[in-house]
Amino acid sequence: MTDLPRLAANTPGLPCRNDPAPFFSTRATDRQYAAGLCGPCPIRLQCASYALDNDERAGVWGGIDLTARVLGCGTVGGFRKHRRRGEEPCAPCLHAHEASVTADRLRRLGVEHGLGGTTRGYWLHWRLGEEACRPCKTAQARKSADRRAQARARAERPRVASVTSGAADVPRGAPEGVYALAAAA
């Protein structure tokens, strides 16, 4: 077991001794700043070991943000926990989320390519920020052409004339022989 208090007392210039506030802040950005201060610390490994041996659950110890570890920072679960708490996700959680989304899109794109290229594949290429492959472009072009043809067919379709034949009391679109009831005065 590490005797951290003795080590810290005998080591001059430790950033955690000069200004301990960011090491135990509730703000993730402060804790990230504090973890960066631990980089050149000569007792960094002993500090981290001490925190893990003594089941510390809060603060930054030896460059490890234990508060973030409890949240699961750097994982998709950590990203979700930040969102549920109404916090802005920290950089590691945001990176983990983006990596997960990208991996899922690539997996789905593989499925679409297995089908020979689809419009969904075209849009997955677009979301990934890459140029679509030829089969996906072809599928998208085919769908666009079909939609344009359908729009032209709708525009060219003859309009049905209203069948009122002068009778004002026939409801519009009613079957033949149906008449509107007279309104009570």
pLDDT (tens digit per residue) in 109-139: 999 999 999 999 999 999 999 999 999 999 9
The band of 19, judged by pLDDT with boundaries at 50, 70 and 90, is confident
Q: What separation in angstroms does the CA of 82 have from each of 28, 32, 50, 97, 104?
A: 10, 15, 27, 11, 21
Residue 170 has pLDDT above 60, yes or no: no
DSSP code at position 2: -
Residue with tokens 């080591």: 11
pLDDT (tens digit per residue) in 156-167: 887 766 555 555
The band of 185, judged by pLDDT with boundaries at 50, 70 and 90, is low
Q: DSSP 3-state assignment of 64?
A: strand
Q: What is the per-residue pLDDT for 111?
A: 94
Tell me what percent of the residues of the chain surpass a pLDDT of 70.
82
Contact (CB, 8 A) for 57 and 70: yes
Contact (CB, 8 A) for 92 and 98: no
Count, residues in the chain: 185
The band of 69, judged by pLDDT with boundaries at 50, 70 and 90, is low
Average the pLDDT over 143-148 and give the result: 95
Report the alpha-carbon distance of residue 177 to residue 141 in Å, rounded: 49
- The two structure tokens encoding residue 6: 């003795």
Q: Which residue has the higher pLDDT, 71 or 66?
A: 66
The pTM assigned to this predicted structure is: 0.48
Task: Tell me the one-letter amino acid at 25.
Answer: S
**Cα-flanking dihedrals φ and ψ of residue 61, to 5°?**
-130, 120
Residue 176 has pLDDT above 60, yes or no: yes
pLDDT (tens digit per residue) in 32-51: 888 888 888 888 888 888 88
Q: What is the per-residue pLDDT for 139?
A: 95
Contact (CB, 8 A) for 108 and 90: no
